[in-house]
Amino acid sequence: MAPLLAAARARYRQLAAYAVANRAGAFTNGLFLVFRAHLFQACFDAGRIGGLTPLQATGYAAVTQALLMVCPQWVNVGLADTVRSGQIAVELLRPADFVWLHFAGRAGASAFYLVHRTLPLLVFAYAIGLAPAPSPWSLALCLVVVPLAAVVANALLFLVEVSSFWLESDRGVRYLLVGVALLPSGLSLPLSWFPAPVQALFLATPFPYTLHLPAEAFIGRIGPEQAVWAVGAQLAWAIGLVAASRWAFSRGVRRLVVLGG
Amino acid sequence: MRIYLALLGASVRAQLAYRGAVWLEALGRFWVTSLELVGVLVVFTITDGLGGFGRWEVVYLYGVATTALGVASVVTDGLKDMPHLVRTGQLDGMLVRPLSPLLQVLGRQCRLMQVGRPAQGALTLLWALWHVAPDGPLRYGMVGVNVAATTAVFSGLFVLEGASTVFTVQAAEAFSAFTYGGAQMTQYPVPIYPAWLQRVFLWVVPVGTACYLPALVVLGHPDPLGLPGWAPWVAPLGALAFFGACLLGWRAALDRYTGTGS
């Protein structure tokens, strides 16, 4: 356990060293948040759309943007680079499990962005009237849902990059992920604005459990009864995808031939 | 100019050695860019108009913004290497050669897979024009001006982003707010945004000036912002002036370049 905590802490501190880069990223994130929120607002003539009030819709835009680095959708998590450069051979010699060490580092990154990206952006969105104040129940639900969402998102990225054991470059697979995940994750539009059959299709994939579910939880659209089902499904995806990551990695390592002397 | 084209030609030929990979990635970009268009179309299943603009008018704006951002990022692709050039000190070598450093940087690379975005934008633009059907050759001419002006603004922003790396290689992401963010913004009509954002994108970073104002002429749409009637006609000049200012900014930045030491 100690090495995992150390890996997470090291990653947190590494990101904290680039303060300017984080501020630049937060600025861009924040501007996208404002663009999306006002687009959603402009869709309303009166009443609700897809069960959302205007404030809930802009809140949905705020949460999905604010969590973008905590539950990353297309970030380079470094596994493919490690494989391509041959550094993986050194990593495998370490007296700790590589996959757990990797996820511990990602947990450190998510924790960093939760504190230095998500919270400031949500406060900003609330201050300019684009996000509702969450109820205690919504906040409690987010405490469960956001960490699980980070696990699902990072496991998906791990699976993308693990393909570099077999392929020369993981770029094609990465594009495939962005191309498949963009709409069902909720980053583009609230899922409830899509036609019902499309929604059902989206909810059968793991992608809504990365951004959509935390957003719905935050804006107070998930009651205790739905929460049981939603968290259950999210937990199942998290466990399944991490297991798949471990399995794919061990298969990949068996195939690995590192060049050089 | 000839040297620039020669350098780009070399880069393009090198990539054609891996033809399959290039095509696949260009297709991937085409597809990912198309998802944004799907977003626009889904929005119009739940509403009839955005800020007083109809579906095909918004698709037209999307087409202009996407084509312009796409062309600008293909042309200025070499600048994406700037953080690397500054960090490793390779930029020092370029400064002593008897050729404009900007041309040298731009000529370093031009990744063909990037054509996915402008190709998707151009097709969408044609699709929108077919539905909008502007009347008169003047308005069709304005389409060209519209795309060219917007491309000039985005190119200027990419040049400024490259220039900023002379001071810090960490801030480049902030420029994405104006390039990718600007494209995201102007693919929808400017009046849907709050007044402070409108002011920023009309007067400071003229992405809205270049994309939205000339589009009013093409679409024959009255201006909901209440700007004077000649505004759309001078807007392209404003875009050109902004591009010039960005080039001056690049020059000023390089004058202050002190290297990273050795």
Cβ distance B97 to B104 under 8 Å?
yes
Q: Is the dihedral of CA B180, B186, B187, B192 positive or negative?
A: positive
Residue B112 C-alpha, separation from nearest chain A C-alpha, in angstroms: 15
For residue A61, how many other CB atoms are within 10 A of its CB? Answer: 28
pLDDT score recorded for residue B262? 47
With contacts defined as CB-CB under 8 Å, which chain B residues touch A163? none
The parts of chain A modelled with pLDDT lower than 50 are 261
pLDDT range class, residue B51, cuts 50, 70, 90? confident
Are B185 and A21 an interchain contact pair (Cβ–Cβ within 8 Å)?
A: no
Residues 49-108 of chain B whose Cβ lies under 8 A from any Cβ of chain A: 50-51
Put simply, whether B203 touches A (Cβ < 8 Å) is no
Q: Which residues of B touch A179 (CB under 8 A)?
A: 28, 31-32, 35
- Residue B17: which pLDDT band, with cuts at 50, 70 and 90? confident
Q: Is the pTM of this model over 0.80?
A: yes
Q: Which residues of chain B neighbour A20 with C-beta distances below 8 Å? A: 168, 170-171
Buried b (16+ CB within 10 A) or exposed e, A199-208: beebbeebbb
pLDDT tens per residue across span A110-151: 999 999 999 999 999 999 999 999 999 999 999 999 999 999
Taking CB atoms and an 8 Å limit, are A41 and B45 in contact across chains? no
With contact defined as beta carbons under 8 Å apart, do B148 and A3 qualify?
no
Q: Which residues pair with B53 in a beta bridge?
A: B50
Q: What is the pLDDT of residues B113-147, one digit of tens each?
A: 788 899 999 999 999 999 988 888 888 999 999 99
| Whole-angstrom distance, CA of residue B45 vs CA of residue B40 | 9
Closest partner CB to A175 (pick from B32, B45, B197): B32
Residue that the structure tokens 């024959």 belong to: B220
Name chain A contacts of B25, Cβ cutoff 8 Å. 171-172, 175
Q: Which amino acid is at A109?
A: A
